Every structure is written in C-alpha cells, then in structure tokens.
C-alpha cells in the first residue's frame, strides 16, 4: 500500500496548532483551490466518530469518518466511501516546547492490485506534495500569527 508522509515545524505550541485543526473552518481553509472541494455536511468536528461529506471537483463524493482522537497528539480520518479502496490520513502533533512538529501520513490503496498501487503511489506523490505544501503553509501562517 502506498504511503505518503510530510512534516513541518511550526513556531507555535502544540495546543495552538491542534486547536487550529479543531476549528469549524479548518478544512475549508486547508483545502487548496484546485481541485475545488465543497463541504456538503459535517458532524462532530475531528473527534472519533465525526463524519464529513465532501464533493471534490464537482463530481466525486467523498465521505470520511474520524476513527481516532487524542487531544494535542493526533487524529485520524478514514474514507468511508469515495474514489479509493483505502484512504487513511493520520495527523500527528509533536510538542517541541514553543514549537510543534506536524506530521501527515496518508496510506492509500486503489483498486487493481500491487502493480497498480505501486504506480498509483508514484503518480500521486506530486499531487499530494502540492496539497500538503499548501496545507502546511496555511497552518504555519495562521498558527504562527496566533501564537
């Protein structure tokens, strides 16, 4: 199964960075302009059991359920339905005193077996890289401003 990992150091305490992710508008703020993402419905924030339904690029319905939550440490969302066979996004927060290491780990699988997934991992890396660079820039800017 392909795995994508990216981390960033943010000059803000972990409580500030985690609280940003708990904001009602965080997902909208963290979604890059391309492809367009519209939040259809959302319940429960980021705690385990929370659910969000998205429309991606006008036509892809994506439902994610949060499966783990530990304040100031991590939360996990997993695709319940959508374009992937498996999609698991683990958000980890590590306190470094006045700074925070934010790590995003995405594990995914597409239909089609090992070779297809190996190729999907290579093909997805540039798009995931652009998305997480955008997300980390926004997180850094807003959290460092708040700190």
pLDDT (tens digit, 9 = 90+) per residue, 91-118? Answer: 999 999 999 999 999 998 877 877 776 7
Whether the CB-CB separation of 14 and 3 falls below 8 Å is answered with no
Q: Is the pTM of this model over 0.95?
A: no
Confidence of residue 35 (pLDDT cuts 50, 70, 90): confident
DSSP annotation of 73: T
Per-residue buried b or exposed e for 85-118, using 16+ beta carbons within 10 Å of the residue's own CB: eebbbbbbbbeeeebbebebbbebbbeeeeeebe
Whether 48 has a pLDDT exceeding 90, the answer reads yes
pLDDT for 120: 66
Among residues of the chain, what percentage have pLDDT more than 70?
A: 97
Task: Tell me the mean pLDDT in the region 43-52.
Answer: 96
pLDDT-derived band at 84 (thresholds 50, 70, 90) equals confident
Instruction: Give the separation between CA 45 and CA 66, rounded to whole angstroms.
Output: 9
Asked if residue 44 lies in contact with residue 27, where contact means CB atoms within 8 angstroms, the answer is no
- Mean pLDDT throughout 29-52? 94
Closest by Cα among 108, 102, 111 to 135:
102
Contact (Cβ atoms closer than 8 angstroms) between residue 110 and residue 123: no
Residue whose pair of structure tokens reads 């409580």 in the numeric block: 15
Report the pLDDT value the prediction gives residue 122, as an integer from 0 to 100.
67
6-20, 47-61, 110-124 — which is least confidently predicted? 110-124
Using alpha carbons, list the distances in angstroms from residue 48 to 5, 15, 41: 22, 18, 16
Q: Between residues 73 and 117, which one has the greater pLDDT?
A: 73
Residue 70's SS3 state is strand
Q: Which residue has the higher pLDDT, 112 or 21?
A: 21
* Gap between the Cα atoms of 37 and 56, Å rounded: 5
C-alpha pair distances (Å), 3 with each of 22, 46, 141: 25, 22, 26
**Average pLDDT in the 50-72 region?**
95
């Amino acid at each position: 199964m392909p795995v994508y990992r990216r981390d960033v150091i943010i000059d803000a305490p972990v409580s500030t960075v985690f609280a940003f992710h708990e904001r009602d508008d965080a997902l909208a703020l963290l979604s890059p302009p391309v492809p367009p993402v519209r939040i259809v419905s959302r319940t429960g924030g980021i705690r385990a059991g929370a659910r969000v339904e998205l429309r991606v690029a006008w036509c892809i319905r994506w439902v994610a359920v949060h499966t783990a939550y530990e304040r100031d440490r991590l939360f996990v969302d997993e695709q319940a339905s959508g374009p992937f066979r498996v999609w698991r996004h683990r958000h980890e927060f590590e306190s470094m005193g006045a700074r925070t290491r934010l790590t995003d780990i995405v594990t995914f699988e597409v239909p089609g077996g090992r070779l297809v997934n190996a190729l999907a991992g290579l093909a997805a890396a540039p798009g995931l890289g652009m998305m997480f660079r955008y997300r980390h820039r926004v997180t850094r800017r807003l959290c460092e401003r708040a700190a």
